[in-house]
Amino acid sequence: MSLALSTLLYEWRRYMAAVMALALSGLLVLAMTGVFIGIGKGFTATIERSSADIIIMQPGAKSLIGGPSGVPRRFIPLAYRNPAVVEVQPLDGAGGSFQSVKNVDPTMSQADRAKMGAPRQEFVQASIIDTTPGSVTIPTDYSPELVDALRQPYTVAIDETALRKLGVKLGDKALYNGQTVTVAGITRGYPNMMQSTVIMSR
């Protein structure tokens, strides 16, 4: 053992490249692990930060998104048969088109607007919450001011990571599925690498 240690100490320059390569590999593994965990947390942030204790899904459901997983709303009264159940709310979501109407001339063609750098239409994922005080669909880190803003008709909230992509800021008007909406709130910690998420009230 002492001979091996002595050899390592004496020939440290020869083994330094291998040590550095192993250290760099370890850092890359940690970085990639963090990236994948962050992506996963971005998709499940709304669920993990809900005050609900359980999600009721179809028997044998393997995925919350991208397949038949929910149950019909007629099953909601059945859940209330359990005396421990206080509230049951559907987890609603939808998709649609979103476009900022800032600096958009409706008389111009889409090609001309693109040349001028006008915001283009984007497909977004909508997360729908119930703004009743204490509702289980409201994430626990939503401020009372944000929930109050979403109670107003035709208002939406957008995560700060999607503002540049969607071409809007707080207070701007936009079109969601052809309906004019107002960006009334900005969230933090709800990124989505695939599609931008828009939060609205039921």
In the chain, domain spans: 2-47, 53-88, 91-201
Q: What is the pLDDT of residues 57-81, one digit of tens each?
A: 888 777 766 666 677 888 888 889 9
pTM: 0.71
Examine the pLDDT at 1 and tell me if it is beyond 60.
no
β strands within the chain, DSSP E: 92-100, 122-129, 155-159, 173-176, 179-187, 196-201
Residue with the larger pLDDT of the pair 179 and 63: 179
Residue 165 above 80 pLDDT? yes
Q: Of 85-89, 146-150, 191-195, where does mean pLDDT reach its minimum?
A: 191-195
pLDDT in tens, 111-131: 776 676 667 788 998 888 888
> What's residue 31's pLDDT?
92
For 62, 89, 119, 139, 144, the CA distances from 135, given in Å and listed in that order, are 26, 8, 35, 9, 12
Average pLDDT for 140-159: 91
Residue that has been written with the tokens 């669909």 in this structure = 137
| 104 confidence band (pLDDT: 50, 70, 90) | low
Which tokens go with 95? Answer: 């998709």
Q: Of 26-30, 38-42, 159-163, which range is least confident?
A: 38-42
